[in-house]
């Protein structure tokens, strides 16, 4: 269930994540955590396209969004991102499975 | 901020290994944080599906899971599309049962049919699968999916576009 307080961020996320040619950048930290946790790039992409923004906070001068959703194996994932509407780009900061 | 295009980049986070040449961008911020970006991830996934499905090496559990996720399907939906029992897909993906010869080719036909238009640089004819002799043992340690970016001029539309093409394919 989407958090209504972050409805606008959720709408913006879906628009960017489903745009043709969207660029997804991963921090080294995100890539390491994904490898450790068995989360693939396809899992992340699916959650970004179908999930909702559960939390918004400022971090190093940028707005980070915690995106929650299920992957195609029904795992409940949380992905921390920075979204850039103007250049259609998403920076993935971290990802984990919610238990 | 410094930006580098990597001569070679190996990735395992799509579900099957891939090597990319002269395409992956690494940005390093002033505070030392690194960001890696693969251009046109959707096109790359489509090209990976095609190259793997057209390679005669017997499909593994990882290949099947990769195909399914590339198509955006849950296990039950994948089973319905293939007209097999969901428990069969589960056994394939969990290595409890190998994929038989008939199903192996059926899966290749299905995924290529669904995705080949998204990989314009990869030549495809269903006959390539029909006439394929599936092999159980790898004869080379070279990765199957090795790509570089190319610029294509489409025959029908005359539009130029960038796409992923194979650099080499090993059995």
User: Is B70 in CB contact (< 8 Å) with chain A?
Assistant: yes
Q: B134-161, pLDDT tens digit by residue?
A: 998 776 777 889 999 999 888 778 888 8
Q: B3-31, pLDDT tens digit by residue?
A: 999 999 999 999 999 999 999 999 999 98
Distance CA B164, CA A74 (A): 30
Q: A29-60, pLDDT tens digit by residue?
A: 999 999 999 999 999 999 999 999 999 999 88
A67: closest CA among A84, A48, A91, A39?
A48
Question: Please, what's the largest Cα pairwise distance for chain A?
Answer: 35
ipTM of the complex, rounded to two decimals: 0.92
Asked whether the CA dihedral B143, A21, A17, A9 is positive or negative, the reply is positive
Q: Per DSSP, what are the bridge partners of residue A80?
A: A66, A94
CATH class of B39-141+152-166: mainly alpha
Q: Which domains can be identified in chain A, with CATH numbers?
A: 4-97 (3.30.2310)
Ramachandran area for residue B110 (φ above 0: left; ψ -120 to 50: alpha; else beta):
alpha
Q: Higher pLDDT residue, B171 or A32? A: A32
The two three-digit tokens of residue B160, written as one number? 């130029």
pTM of the complete model: 0.93
Which chain B residues are within 8 Å of A27, Cβ to Cβ? 33-35
The two three-digit tokens of residue B24, written as one number? 């992956």
Q: B77-106, pLDDT tens digit by residue?
A: 999 999 999 999 999 999 999 999 899 999
User: Is A20 in CB contact (< 8 Å) with chain B?
Assistant: yes
Distance from CA of B125 to the nearest CA of A (A): 26
Distance from CA of B25 to the nearest CA of A (A): 9
Instruction: Give the position of tokens 């400022």.
Output: A58
């Amino acid at each position: 269930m989407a958090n209504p307080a972050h409805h606008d961020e959720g709408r913006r996320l879906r628009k960017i994540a489903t745009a043709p040619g969207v660029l997804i950048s991963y921090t080294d930290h995100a890539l390491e955590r994904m490898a450790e946790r068995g989360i693939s790039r396809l899992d992340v992409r699916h959650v970004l396209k179908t999930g909702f923004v559960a939390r918004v906070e400022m971090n190093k001068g940028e707005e980070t969004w915690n995106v929650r959703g299920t992957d195609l194996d029904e795992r409940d994932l949380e992905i921390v991102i920075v979204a850039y509407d103007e250049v259609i780009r998403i920076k993935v900061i971290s990802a984990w499975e919610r238990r | 901020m410094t930006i580098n295009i990597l001569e070679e980049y190996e990735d395992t986070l799509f579900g099957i290994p891939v090597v990319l040449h002269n395409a992956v961008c690494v940005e390093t911020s002033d505070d030392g944080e690194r960001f890696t970006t693969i251009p046109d991830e959707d096109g790359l996934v489509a090209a990976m599906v095609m190259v793997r499905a057209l390679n005669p090496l017997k499909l593994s559990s990882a290949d099947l899971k990769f195909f399914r996720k590339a198509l955006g399907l849950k296990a039950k939906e994948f089973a319905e599309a293939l007209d097999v029992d969901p428990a069969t897909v589960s056994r394939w993906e969990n290595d409890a049962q190998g994929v038989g010869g008939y199903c192996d080719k059926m899966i290749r036909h299905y995924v290529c049919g669904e995705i080949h238009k998204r990989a314009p640089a990869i030549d495809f004819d269903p006959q390539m699968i029909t006439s394929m002799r599936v092999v159980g043992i790898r004869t080379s340690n070279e990765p199957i999916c090795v790509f570089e970016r190319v610029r294509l001029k489409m025959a029908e539309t005359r539009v130029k576009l960038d796409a992923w093409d194979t650099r080499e394919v090993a059995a």
